[in-house]
Amino acid sequence: DSQKLLSAEKEKYKNLQDRLSKLEEEYGYVRDQRSDANDSINKDLALAQERIQQLTGEIDTVLRSNITLESEINVYRRLLDSETNRLANQTVEQTLPPEPAPPSFGSELGKVFNKKIKKGPIAISTYGFYFPFCFELHEKKEIIE
């Protein structure tokens, strides 16, 4: 009887040891999976934080550029306003060309040349803005050889 009891207890002990080793194996497998998942999450978190830092730097750069550009726009706007006011207060003088000489025709021995003569600039006011123009006169000269 005691031999059977001892044998049954040994069998029970062996079964419990087998079960314990299987549970330890499963626990190790689950622990490794959780550790891998945790490492992956930590890696993703580090990448996300790095990307946030990069984007924050880019946003700061854009904001600084925006402030600089806005101040430049204000400076140019003031320059344009002052130039517009200065030009609006100036009187416009128009230089009229002299009466052109009647056309002359060269003889058979002479040559006719066209010569450009530039006269001073003029400006035309349109909607409060002045547009400068230069105009040219063409004068014919006859040279006889």
Give pLDDT tens digits for 105-117.
555 555 555 555 5
Q: Using only C-alpha atoms, what is the Rg of the chain?
A: 49
Q: What is the SS3 assignment for 90?
A: coil
CA dihedral (57, 60, 62, 67) in degrees, to 10, reads -160
Examine the domain organization and report whether 84 and 136 are in the same domain: no
Q: Is the pTM of this model over 0.75?
A: no
Examine the domain organization and report whether 108 and 134 are in the same domain: yes
Examine the domain organization and report whether 55 and 102 are in the same domain: no
Last residue of a domain, one of 64, 89, 114: 89
**pLDDT, mean of residues 9-31:** 98
Examine the domain organization and report whether 66 and 128 are in the same domain: no
Examine the domain organization and report whether 122 and 81 are in the same domain: no
Examine the domain organization and report whether 113 and 53 are in the same domain: no
pLDDT at 135: 46
Examine the domain organization and report whether 54 and 125 are in the same domain: no
Examine the domain organization and report whether 74 and 125 are in the same domain: no
Is the predicted pLDDT of residue 123 greater than 80, yes or no?
no
Is the predicted pLDDT of residue 137 greater than 60, yes or no?
no
Range of the domain at 107: 92-145
Whole-number Å distance between alpha carbons of 117 and 98: 11
Q: How confident is the model over 31-71, as pLDDT tens digits? A: 999 999 999 999 999 999 999 999 999 999 999 999 999 99
Last residue of a domain, one of 89, 120, 136: 89
Q: What is the SS3 assignment for 110?
A: strand
Last residue of a domain, one of 89, 109, 136: 89
Q: What total number of domains does the chain contain?
A: 2
Whole-number Å distance between alpha carbons of 26 and 20: 10
